[in-house]
């Protein structure tokens, strides 16, 4: 396949793009940069394997998601991703309830944690995947601060129980790395990976 990108903002001409993710944040990010794409939900068991490191977990899940969709759409550029929050060597996924969200935010408050996003592409019979890391520093938070944020329900469906692009931005004192990686998809790194395939 020979496809030419006319500019930094183009997607490959004539190529169908599929996002293998149900994440509204990832959909919003691709929409904001002007890409046309379809969403196809992957069928993947996200249970960690025994002894699996957090980095290996998010990479495996991203690869599994993209492959589960790519096998049904042979000629499409398929994008998959998985994001986790890492603190004290432990991975924080989505909280199971409000109490779990309070537990997670209590661990994160006043400290720096890592956000890892594994992202994967399948296109024209080729596959690539990587992990992007961003360090996020939380401001010190009291119990009332944490409870008030949890009560907004904003972070209940997000890794680490917060959304940096929403009210959760008020919890964050600073970051080192790609902001969009924390949202759920490292756009610049993703675009560069696609460029590497250009013929």
151 classed as catalytic: no
Q: Is 58 within 8 Å of 131 (Cβ atoms)?
A: yes
Tally the residues of the chain.
199
Count of Cβ atoms closer than 10 Å to residue 84 Cβ: 23
For strands 77-87 and 112-123, give the pairing: antiparallel
Catalytic residue among 43, 45, 82, 176: 82
Q: Is 92 within 8 Å of 53 (Cβ atoms)?
A: no
Cα–Cα distance list, 83 to 71, 124, 134 (Å): 23, 25, 11
Q: Is 187 within 8 Å of 195 (Cβ atoms)?
A: no
Residue 122: closest CA among 72, 67, 191: 67
Return d(Cα 85, Cα 55) in angstroms, integer. Answer: 10
Active-site annotation, residues: 82
């Amino acid at each position: 396949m020979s496809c030419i990108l006319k500019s930094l903002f183009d997607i490959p001409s004539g190529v169908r793009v599929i996002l293998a993710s149900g994440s509204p944040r990832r959909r919003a990010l691709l929409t904001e940069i002007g890409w046309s794409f379809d969403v196809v939900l992957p069928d993947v068991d996200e249970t960690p394997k025994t002894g699996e490191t957090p980095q290996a977990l998010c990479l495996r899940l991203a690869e599994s998601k993209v492959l589960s969709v790519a096998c049904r759409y042979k000629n499409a550029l398929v994008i998959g991703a998985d994001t986790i929050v890492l603190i004290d060597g432990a991975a924080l996924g989505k909280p199971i309830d409000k109490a779990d969200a309070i537990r997670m935010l209590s661990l994160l408050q006043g400290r720096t944690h890592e956000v890892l996003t594994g992202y994967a592409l399948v296109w024209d019979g080729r596959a690539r995947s990587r992990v992007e890391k961003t360090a996020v520093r939380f401001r010190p938070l009291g119990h009332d601060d944490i409870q008030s944020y949890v009560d907004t329900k904003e972070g209940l469906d997000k890794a680490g129980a917060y959304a940096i692009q929403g009210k959760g931005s008020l919890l964050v004192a600073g970051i080192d790395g790609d902001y969009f990686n924390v949202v759920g998809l490292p756009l610049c790194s993703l675009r560069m990976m696609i460029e590497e395939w250009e013929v």
